[in-house]
Structure 1
Amino acid sequence: MLITIGRDCLKRNNFINGAFIATLGIVVCKILGLVYVIPLYKIIGSQGGALYSYAYSIYAVFLNLSTAGIPTAISKIVSEYNALHQEKLQKRAFDIASKLLNIVGILSFIILFIFSDYFAHLIIGGTEGGNSVADVSIAIKIVSLALLVVPKLSILRGYFQGNKFITYSSVSTVIEQLVRVLLIIVGSYVSVKVFHLPINIAVYISILAATIGALASYLYLKFKIKRNKQEFEIQEINNEHVIDNKKLLKKILLYALPFVLISLLRSAYSVVDTFTVVKTLTSLGYTTDVAETTIGVFNTWGSKLNMIVVSISLGLITSLIPEITGSYAKKEFKNINYKINQSIKVLLFTTIPMAIGISLLASPIWTIFYGYDVVSVNIFSIYILQVIIYSLYITLINAVQAMNETKISLGVLCISFLLKVALNIPIMRFLYYINIDAYYGPAVTNAIVEFLSVMIILIVLKKKYNFKYKELFTPLLKIIVCLTVMLSVLWGLKYIYYSFNGIVQSVITIILFTIVGGLIYMLLSFRLKLINDIFGSNFFDKIRQKFSRKNKN
């Protein structure tokens, strides 16, 4: 049974530190997730890749059902009760949520394991050649094992995050991904290249890696708890509220529901593209190959690369939700305004140069991961820019939800979804009409819809809570100056060296442009004191103090 985590041995993270650590962890995981794909697909091929994706597609559905926003809800509840010094209540809330997710996880595992043949038939039907129903069924059975571990792990992470122990939650995420990737690469290589086993065995090992990675991560967090056992005592507080388990369960579910709906409505964007892009492009005269390439970039291949930039907002959200929840419980609205503004400044400072830099390097980046394709590169170079707005969008949506403003978050999400449905086809047709390739349409639609959503949230918060945003203008102006100089230099460098004829040349191009662009941007940021505007004038003093403490120890 988990109880309040001690404050001496386990170190809590403040907002910026927590956001930085969470972001770093997510970025590392996303990079690992991208890197392993290259050797894996060389080993297992397209047929093995299809078998791998069959298992994961059905697993993803059941995983969402098994977690369903409850870990985020626990992070929010724990932070709220911590702010109100209701330690017994946050412990009970964790216990109830753990039992609930354990039951749902076990039931999901049983359903997926027992009915694996049925799901396999649904996926491939009576197709001949390639993977058999038996192959897919075994893959589903193996991946179902993860449902016995991942729900336990996710609720534990939510508890750590709610207590502002972001470091340990992030380390557990990296451990999970690292163990998984190592098992996938080593296991698949040894089984096929050394023991000359069938490809499907390599796929089964790769799928099993998800369970083993999750188990390693779970054991790490349990070890951290056990090691600090003496710090887990709960102090008796006489004036704690008395809430029965039924009401606590109801609160958990009510907190979880909006996060589930947020996730579903965000996922619905890709569904809109799935149903509209191919039909619209082919009706405009594009070939089926171009149309399917377009949907592949938006829904799969481009999205994977975009997640490197999106990771920054995901890291901020991990730290922001418990921070805002705690401040909201104490009615500290000025503090919430400050943290939201700080989040926006960090996002603008990081995502704008990253997205623009990746757009500039779209050709060599795409060549390394997927092989050069002119249509894919063209789409991706625009699609990555939309991530700037998307990062602000998802951060603000989660921020208002942490303030219990469910009506605002769901209202904005519904409006954005309806606008996406209404504008997706017309914008593709409009671009075609003005002689711009229509396959840019979904990215343009997303940018417009998400920008409007961001403005709505900022205006509503200003009217309802008197939030102020004046402090954002000076950093934004400085960012534009830094970017202008950086891009001018990189554009000139492009005429000296810019090659993507193969992986080696592409890597050289990326390294060269990243070093030059990064140095220029950071040097100008220091020169214009942009770093001070975003992280505070004593930011580097704090870093020096931390290093000096470590050296003394």
Structure 2
Amino acid sequence: MEHHNAKTTLRGALILSLAAFIAKLLSAVYRVPFQNLVGNTGFYVYQQVYPLYGIGMTFALSGLPVFISKLVADAPDLPTQQQVARQVYRWTWGLAGSLFVGLTVGAPWIARGMGDGQLTPLIRTVAWMFLLMPDLSVTRGYHQGRFEMLPTARSQVVEQIVRVAVILLVASWATVQQWSVYRMGAWAMSSGTLAAVAAWLVLPRWRRPREPRVARVPHIGRRLLVEGGTLCLLTAMMVLLQLIDSFTVKNGLVAGGLSDLAAKDLKGVYDRGQPLVQLGLVVAVAFATSLLPALTAAQQRGRQREFKRLTTTMMRIALVIAAAATAGLMTLMPWIDRLLFGNQQGTAMLAVYMLSIILATLIQTYNSVLQSQDQYRLTVVALVSGLVVKGLVNHWAVMHWGGLGASWVTVGSLLVMAGVIWYGSPVMLRSGIWTFPFLGKLLGCVALMVGGLQLLLHGLAAWWPGLMVGRGAAGGILMLTIPAGVILFLATALGSRLLTVREWLTLPHADQLLRFWQKLRLHGGK
């Protein structure tokens, strides 16, 4: 029976992980065609208000459902599970109603705080999505707590598909009809509410007859505030940093001497970095956290040696993938920028912004490990510390150094978070993971990949100078350089034994890669 439950849990975790990966991928990818349709200023309008939606989505998609599922799973029987769901539902309705009223009434003040009073209708449009948050979060959490993962997974994917489709349709129609960017933004923001309705429609209902009646479960409200709020904050880390940007970047650019229109345009360029960072995070964290169910099982069974081994593997894989992705994006940023967005505006600030991938990946991976041990306080302290740094410094940095200043402050804030987590973590999570030989090999692999890419780019420029100009040319260059960079990094990583065989084998299809590498070595030795 225990084996069956473990198998069901693992399969459910994999289903949810796959659904989350698809949802995050869609959420990152759609912004490229959207920006191409609406331009820098249209993208600025959307991204100024997006963090408010992002916070609500985090509550309903991942933060609250995970917490609610733990409450439901801990309940001893079906009636108690239903009672837990009913109590949480009432509390979340109070939270959702407060947020709805606060955003609706406070929209003019929030918009003025962002430096653009015309954002008021967009903020009020976003507010409606919060009214669906209780049904979505409680229903998802209830089914997850009963180890029924498919309803949540299906609703996550449906929600993102509907949202992306509505946004791109609105952008296309607004372009044809020559709407103002603010009218377009308001309609695009309505996608959040429409997508939430679609997600709710595909979710099975959790309410059942109240018989037999059970007593109220104590301390639900306090646990929802402390534990549930903590999970939501940690999940919304990057969105919270973006929210601070919404209040400080455009205002800082104007204070630094730019006109209002030029500041909006440059903020739209700065926002190009967010889908690229999100893509890097999706890949790195998805590979690393695939080990999370095994990690949690090892912790619950008291197998400390296995827990330490899995933690080391997860941390190292996360850093290796994030470092390779960051270095590749930074090196190829001029051509990525041209291919995706049609020009090379803001290449330097976008390249610096890519450093966020390494730090955010490490923070999220450390957080996953700490969550498996039911430790939340440290990551909350780290998050608050980083947000305080971002909030205090960002406006000043933007005023003096423009978008580049905002990029560096984001990286600095994440560095503060990572430092607090590392310093405050148990000794087991610090010793033996980041050894000097491992870090030296990783640095060497990254340096060789970057050097190889630079040589290849210089060679292409010398061979055919015209190849370096134009959007189509940028696509051609990336089709050559990205596979070359991947091959070069893998070859140096395998040759230097950056990861152990056991660590390699946790990655998909790594067994085939290792066999191929072994054949190459045997062939080369003859």
Give the TM-score, by structure 2 length.
Answer: 0.71
Distance in 1 of aligned mates of 2:510 and 2:58: 43
Q: How does 1:158-173 map to 2 (within 5 A)?
A: 158=141, 169=152, 172-173=155-156
Matched, 1:259 2:231: yes
State the SS of the aligned residue for 2:271. Answer: helix
Q: Which residue of the other structure, out of 375, 387, 409, is the alignment partner of 2:379?
A: 409
Q: Is the 8 A contact 1:341 1:472 kept in 2?
A: no
Closer/same/farther in 2, CA of residues 41 and 450 from structure 1, 3 Å limit:
closer
Alignment partner, residue 239 of structure 1: none
Alignment partner, residue 11 of structure 2: 13
Q: State the AA in 1 paired with 2:380.
A: L
1:107-143 per-residue CA deviation (whole Å, 9 max, x = no partner) reads: 655776xx56x73587479x99x96x9xx64x66654
Q: State the AA in 2 paired with 1:469.
A: G
Matched, 1:532 2:501: yes
Q: Which residue of the other structure, out of 189, 195, 219, is the alignment partner of 1:247?
A: 219
Matched, 1:101 2:64: no
Q: How does 1:51-130 map to 2 (within 5 A)?
A: 69-77=63-71, 81=74, 92-102=83-93, 104-105=95-96, 108-109=99-100, 115=104, 119=107, 123=111
State the SS of the aligned residue for 2:483. Answer: helix
Closer/same/farther in 2, CA of residues 525 and 222 from structure 1, 3 Å limit:
farther
Closer/same/farther in 2, CA of residues 24 and 421 from structure 1, 3 Å limit:
closer
How many pairs were matched up?
496
Alignment partner, residue 458 of structure 2: 495
Closer/same/farther in 2, CA of residues 209 and 377 from structure 1, 3 Å limit:
same
Closer/same/farther in 2, CA of residues 93 and 542 from structure 1, 3 Å limit:
farther
Displacement of 1:339: 3.9
Q: Is the 8 A contact 1:13 1:164 kept in 2?
A: no
Matched, 1:469 2:465: no
Matched, 1:354 2:330: no
Q: Is the 8 A contact 1:478 1:528 kept in 2?
A: yes
Distance in 1 of aligned mates of 2:249 and 2:64: 34
- Once superposed, what is the RMSD of the aligned Cα atoms? 5.3
Displacement of 1:319: 6.3
Displacement of 1:511: 2.2
Distance in 2 of aligned mates of 1:305 and 1:508: 19
Displacement of 1:94: 4.1
Closer/same/farther in 2, CA of residues 389 and 52 from structure 1, 3 Å limit:
closer
Displacement of 1:12: 3.5
Unaligned runs of at least 5 residues, structure 2: 209-213, 462-466, 514-526
Distance in 1 of aligned mates of 2:171 and 2:322: 35
Deviates more, 1:533-542 or 1:357-366: 533-542
Q: State the AA in 1 paired with 2:227.
A: Y
Q: Is the 8 A contact 2:284 2:318 kept in 1?
A: yes
Q: State the AA in 2 paired with 1:494.
A: L
Displacement of 1:352: 0.9
Distance in 1 of aligned mates of 2:415 and 2:402: 20
Q: How does 1:270-281 map to 2 (within 5 A)?
A: none
Deviates more, 1:101-110 or 1:393-402: 101-110
1:79-126 per-residue CA deviation (whole Å, 9 max, x = no partner) reads: 7x39xx8887666544433443345435655776xx56x73587479x
Distance in 1 of aligned mates of 2:298 and 2:215: 22
Q: State the AA in 2 paired with 1:388.
A: I
Matched, 1:400 2:370: yes
Q: Is the 8 A contact 1:76 1:321 kept in 2?
A: no
1:146-199 per-residue CA deviation (whole Å, 9 max, x = no partner) reads: 334344334444456667777774554333222222233335545774xx5966
Closer/same/farther in 2, CA of residues 35 and 426 from structure 1, 3 Å limit:
closer
Closer/same/farther in 2, CA of residues 174 and 22 from structure 1, 3 Å limit:
closer
Q: Is the 8 A contact 1:23 1:316 kept in 2?
A: no
1:383-425 per-residue CA deviation (whole Å, 9 max, x = no partner) reads: 2124212321233245435534343223333444555578779
Q: Which residue of the other structure, out of 154, 161, 179, is the alignment partner of 1:178?
A: 161
Displacement of 1:62: 6.5
Alignment partner, residue 206 of structure 1: 188
Q: Is the 8 A contact 1:362 1:381 kept in 2?
A: yes
Displacement of 1:347: 1.1
Alignment partner, residue 520 of structure 1: 488
Closer/same/farther in 2, CA of residues 531 and 265 from structure 1, 3 Å limit:
closer
Closer/same/farther in 2, CA of residues 336 and 165 from structure 1, 3 Å limit:
farther
Q: Is the 8 A contact 1:340 1:399 kept in 2?
A: yes
Displacement of 1:361: 1.4
Alignment partner, residue 238 of structure 1: none
Q: State the AA in 2 paired with 1:71.
A: P
Closer/same/farther in 2, CA of residues 168 and 62 from structure 1, 3 Å limit:
closer
Alignment partner, residue 309 of structure 1: 280
State the SS of the aligned residue for 1:149. Answer: helix
Distance in 1 of aligned mates of 2:45 and 2:172: 17
Q: How does 1:325-336 map to 2 (within 5 A)?
A: 333-336=304-307
Displacement of 1:354: 0.8
Displacement of 1:60: 5.6
Q: State the AA in 2 paired with 1:368.
A: L
Distance in 1 of aligned mates of 2:179 and 2:417: 50
Alignment partner, residue 379 of structure 1: 349
Distance in 1 of aligned mates of 2:347 and 2:139: 40
Closer/same/farther in 2, CA of residues 422 and 171 from structure 1, 3 Å limit:
same
Deviates more, 1:376-385 or 1:183-192: 183-192
Q: State the AA in 2 paired with 1:119.
A: A
Distance in 2 of aligned mates of 1:77 and 1:474: 43
Deviates more, 1:379-388 or 1:535-544: 535-544
Distance in 1 of aligned mates of 2:51 and 2:248: 21
Q: Is the 8 A contact 2:49 2:123 kept in 1?
A: yes
Q: State the AA in 2 paired with 1:213.
A: A
Displacement of 1:493: 1.0
Distance in 2 of aligned mates of 1:507 and 1:460: 44
Closer/same/farther in 2, CA of residues 245 and 350 from structure 1, 3 Å limit:
same
Closer/same/farther in 2, CA of residues 495 and 342 from structure 1, 3 Å limit:
same
Displacement of 1:502: 2.9
Distance in 2 of aligned mates of 1:280 and 1:119: 21
Q: Is the 8 A contact 2:55 2:236 kept in 1?
A: no
Displacement of 1:214: 2.7
Displacement of 1:357: 0.7
Displacement of 1:310: 2.2
Distance in 2 of aligned mates of 1:423 and 1:202: 32
Distance in 1 of aligned mates of 2:250 and 2:129: 35
Alignment partner, residue 454 of structure 1: 418
